[in-house]
Structure 1
Amino acid sequence: MKKGVFTLEPLSCPSCIKKIEGALKKMNGVKEVNVLFNSSKVRTQFDEELVTAEEIQHTIVKLGYPVLAQKVS
């Protein structure tokens, strides 16, 4: 399991949290998602054999939220 933290541009509304969490939780291999509204970060835990950090980032960007930084450990 890997942990990923994606830093986004500032989120403008709390409904953004549900939109991002809903989309990422549907991804095969994503086990945990936590969107931090105040710091505009998305924390994930995922199985790197099923999904990559780049795929997660691509999904976030497709939703309309530019990713400024990505950290995977």
Structure 2
Amino acid sequence: MNKIVFQMEPLTCPSCIKKIEHALGKQPGVVSATVLFHAGKVRVEYDATEIDGQQIQHIIENLGYPVLSKKSA
């Protein structure tokens, strides 16, 4: 399993958490997705044979949440 952390702009509402976690959680290969609301981070554990970090980033950004940076965890 691979882990990646996305640094984002500060999230403005708790519903953002559910929206991001739900969208990522239904993707094949995503084992877990956790939004750290106050830190503005999204931590994702995933199977790299099914999905990669770039695809995960695109999913987050397509929801309307810009990713500032990413790093392997």
TM-score range, shorter chain: over 0.9
Amino acid corresponding to residue 69 of structure 2 in structure 1: A
Determine the C-alpha separation between the residues in 2 that align with 1:12 and 1:4. Answer: 22
Aligned length: 73
Any residues of structure 2 matched to 1:18-37 within 5 Å, and which? 18-37=18-37
Determine the C-alpha separation between the residues in 2 that align with 1:72 and 1:57. Answer: 13
Amino acid corresponding to residue 60 of structure 1 in structure 2: I
CA deviation after TM superposition for structure 1 residue 72, in Å: 1.7
Any residues of structure 2 matched to 1:32-71 within 5 Å, and which? 32-71=32-71
Which structure 1 residue ranges, 4+ long, deviate > 4 Å from structure 2? none
Q: Helix, strand or coil: the match of 1:34?
A: strand
Q: Structure 2 stretches of 5 or more lacking a match?
A: none
Deviations 1:5-53 (A, max 9, x none): 0011110001000000000001100001110000010001000000000
Q: TM-score, normalised by structure 2?
A: 0.97
Percent of aligned pairs sharing the same letter: 53
Q: TM-score, normalised by structure 1?
A: 0.97
